[in-house]
Amino acid sequence: MLLHSKINLIFNQGEPMTQEKFTTDILIIGMGAAGQLAALYAYDANPELNITIVTKALKGKGGCSRMVQGGLNVVLNEADSHEKHLMDTLKGGQYVNNQDLAKTLVEEATPTIKEMETRFGCFFDRNPDGTIHQKPFAGQSFDRTVHKGDLTGIEMISRTTEQVMKRDITVLEECRAVDLLLDSFGREVTGALLLDIRQGRFIVAEASATLVATGGGPTQYRFHAPGPEKSVDGLGMLYRAGVVMRDMEMIQFHPTGLIIPGSVVAGSLLEEGLRGAGAYLYNGQGERYMKNYAPDVAERATRDVVSRSAFLEMLAGRECEEGGVRIDAAHMGSEFVLENFPGMCNRCRQFGYDLSREPVPVSPTAHFVMGGADIDKDCHTSIERLFVAGEDAGGVHGGNRLGGNGICESTVYGRQAGKSLARYMDRNKSQPAETAKSMVEELIENHTRPFNKENGEDAFKLRAELQECNWIKAGVVRNGNDMEEAVREIAAIRGAATDIALTGGRPYNMLWNTYIDFMNMLDVSDMVVASALARKESRAAHYRSDYPEQNDEIGLFNSFIIRGDDGLPETSSKPVEFTYKTVEECRNYKK
């Protein structure tokens, strides 16, 4: 069982708080597909392990995995192959993927999806002969996307949550990690500092091994697909802990986020399967513009191409009256659309749109971070006792993620992480080093300082300024001058953030949690812009109007970032390692 002790802390304003402390074998930060599968596989490998999951939301009710509509890419058909899936993934990533990670993704997806059904009770749509149905997604040479209607994530997370609850796995709900804890040398992660959102108190979690699996969620942009609780927490914590990060310039903008003026769910997705099934995109002049940008595949081009094309149409003044472009599925027949995409039809109907019978306004929306912690195929990072899986890790997707490969990554690398954690705990019986002296107190001081100010800046206002800056100057289309301005603007916003004032009690304080979210967004914004400035070409999701062409002479590298002593990102690069496929094979591959 967990070991608990309590100590009293006195804050500057004289308010005593109770800080709880516990020790666990494995601490898992995040409860999406990666976190849950890691917990399940680690527990099943050794039920004696103490495993604790921390989630900002309620069990099974938050995060991006639950919101997955389309499905996950898996090789199941004899006419398909891991070779084809790998080449699709490398081609989509424009050759800068970590090929070890990409190969692991495609090969391990097949046993993973089978175990999702046979071990954990997920049940996916079937063909008439009883085999698993697979539908088309853009950027793929074979229809390999496994799904449950267009509500795949709900099926998966509902079943895996049930499995977690059946096991002796501790779950701390409405509890967030605010920072990783380190030993005095910064070489080992000793756990994490948590915030109990319900009670407004801090918890020190000491762990022999820690997994970060919070999901990226690039909500630092004006239009974004992830829900409000997503705020790139894991990426911010990893960066501040000194973890080596990679490819942070690569932010995916999904082409079809709903335009819903004034709504918190603006930017929520109409998923890839809609275009895969045959939906068309039109500009404000009624032109099916994708024929101009990708004449061979049109709307079934990869997400980076479709998003950029929509954004360029908008910049050219050819947007629809709602401000974006329109997606039209009506020509496929209302009965077909209602039957195959009921979740999207219901979502559109809530906001006055009829997806089955009329065009719906959409815009590119920030969706996924291809970059993240530099890991190996067993989810190890550059710091001892720290593992990362899912969207918090980089390298699998290279410069652009194929639709259906995101939740595939979460499940495959959640499974990889769980097995790796169990092996690590079996080999490493020693306790972690002690947390650096005064680190906990300093972190608590940092995260509560705004309570000491009576009047000051508004966290919501500064967050909106940051989102606008990123959207305009480091978004779908970038250039050097804009990004240099973004560096200065982000620095100015960070300076203003030191004057944020917080009011109210600590329990369920939305403003306090927004402040913590916002500080993570600032750190990730710094990384994105620094990496984007260093890549003086266009590649995959990274498009620079001042360097509009992909240049393999200079661009076949991976970007790496580590936090400098001044708190700002230090960038470096390494040539891409073509471990299994040469650049010529990738270039010449035809889907």
Cα separation, 310 vs 327, in Å, equals 11
In a domain, 489, yes or no: yes
Final residue belonging to a domain, choices 366, 382, 417? 366
Take residue 260 and report the two structure tokens written for it.
């819903």
The mean pLDDT values, 10 residues at a time, for the chain of 591 residues are: 36 48 96 98 98 95 86 97 98 97 98 97 96 91 94 94 98 98 96 97 97 93 86 97 98 91 78 89 95 93 90 92 93 94 90 94 94 98 98 97 95 98 91 90 96 93 96 95 98 97 95 97 98 97 96 97 96 98 94 76
The answer to whether position 304 is within a domain reads yes
Neighbours of 333 (CB within 10 A): 12
Structural domain boundaries enclosing 470: 439-551
Same structural domain, 362 and 452: no
Domain end position, chosen among 331, 366, 401: 366
Of 246, 254, 326, 463, the catalytic one is: 254
547-578 in b/e form (b: 16+ CB < 10 A) is: beebeeeebbbbbbbbbeeeeebebeeeebeb
Three-state SS letters, 357-411: CCCEEEEEEEEEECCEEECCCCCECCCECEEECHHHEECCCCCCCCCCHHHHHHH
Residues 6+ apart with CB under 8 A from 527: 235, 239, 245, 248, 371, 561, 569
With beta carbons less than 8 A apart as the criterion, state whether 497 and 442 touch. no
Token pair, residue 42, equals 């680690």
In a domain, 225, yes or no: no
Strands (E), 385-516: 386-388, 393-394
The reply to whether 275 belongs to the active site is yes
User: Do 277 and 358 fall within a single domain?
Assistant: yes
Structure tokens at 86: 């790998």
Whether 544 maps to a domain, the answer reads yes
What pTM was estimated for this model as a whole? Answer: 0.92
At 286, which CATH number?
A: 3.90.700.10
**Residue 143 domain-assigned (yes or no):** no
> Which residues are registered as beta bridge partners of 35?
none
| Domain end among 366, 395, 418 | 366
Kindly provide the b/e burial profile for residues 363-383, where b requires at least 16 CB atoms within 10 angstroms of the residue's own CB. Answer: bbbbbbbbbbbbbebbbbbbb
Total domain count for the chain? 2
Residue 240 lies in a domain: no
Confidence at residue 63, expressed as pLDDT on a 0 to 100 scale: 83
CA-to-CA distance for 555 and 95, rounded, in angstroms? 10
Residue 110 included in any domain: no
Q: Is residue 190 part of a domain?
A: no
Query: What CA–CA distance (Å, rounded) separates 279 from 273?
Result: 9
CATH of the domain at 462: 1.20.58.100
